[in-house]
Structure 1
């Protein structure tokens, strides 16, 4: 929780026609010039928030926390979604993709010698079966 406390909030709204995700761009320092800050809200501290456009064709995610951890988990999720698409010729369900990511995150908290991920994820997606 300490790793994501400087990050801004991520919210999601479920509408009749779709899902809207929004992130708060939080200024971490008084001297930070927002006009030259990197896109996604990341400052020099490595803590920020961002919306990632696609994990699969029907799933997006919002992330708040450590930049390196976010990139690692997003890459894992995209690779897992592509493996499922290649193997079964259909998009992965939102529930299955979230389960795979939760299993990976739980493994890092359960075993010694591994540092837990310092981020929070908000998934949003459409599943035609459910």
Structure 2
């Protein structure tokens, strides 16, 4: 039955289902949150696999098909730059991708603007675009969401937020132990009137994992 209705994202089945959207959501649900193993020759690279800077005040996390994500990340960057060029001010976080369907990928957009301060939005192939206080996408996102609902607090400090993120990852990633070569950690924060995007180095991630008791100390770091 589905073969008659899954050739377009806008064709509904008699039951009211969009099969291509369901296929995309399934692919995203199977997308791991761990970094893929790469050659040791690339360990000093500053590039990331899951985190991307869109503009000086907006960054995103990705889960799903990277071929789709690359196209949409570049599109988002162009939109942000065109807005800044036209209006001589940064684009608001909410305007960036509202109402667009991001193909076979889900995004978490984090940013800051003068209208609403810090914001977090989740976008998925269904076309939903939701503002949230905390969210998880990709594999094992349901247990991660449950942990966030239980432990998130509105008055959390930056350090407490980082600790909560690492705690959630330690409980929901497929690996039995959490190490810096299996995850990426990035922050968007506001200091001295400026929005900053920071990707933590492997050494920094290791120190945080040890500090919060989420991994055993590495003798090489002693």
Q: What TM-score results when the alignment is normalised by the length of structure 1?
A: 0.59
Distance (Å, rounded) in 2 between the aligned partners of 1:4 and 1:36: 25
The question of 1:84 aligning with 2:86 is answered no
User: Which residue pairs with 1:25 in the alignment?
Assistant: 34
User: Which residue pairs with 1:64 in the alignment?
Assistant: 63
User: Which residue pairs with 1:6 in the alignment?
Assistant: 30
Which structure is higher in RCO with an 8 Å CA cutoff and minimum separation 6? 1
CA 1:35–1:80 in structure 2 vs 1: closer, same or farther (change >3 Å)?
A: closer
- Normalized per residue, the structure richer in helix is 2
The RMSD of aligned alpha carbons is 2.2
Equivalent pairs, count:
87
For the pair shown, which has the larger CA radius of gyration, 1 or 2? 2
Note the C-alpha offset of 1:26.
5.6
Correspondence for 1:119 among 80, 105, 111: 105
Residue segments in structure 1 that go unaligned for 5+ positions in a row: 9-23, 28-33, 42-49, 106-115
- Normalized per residue, the structure richer in strand is 1
- In the TM superposition, 1:38-49 aligns within 5 A as 40-41=48-49
Aligned to 1:91, the other structure's residue is in SS state coil
User: Which residue pairs with 2:51 in the alignment?
Assistant: 51
User: Which residue pairs with 1:36 in the alignment?
Assistant: 39
Which string of whole-angstrom CA distances, capped at 9 and with x for unpartnered residues, describes residues 2-52 of structure 1?
2212212xxxxxxxxxxxxxxx3166xxxxxx24287645xxxxxxxx100
Q: What TM-score results when the alignment is normalised by the length of structure 2?
A: 0.36
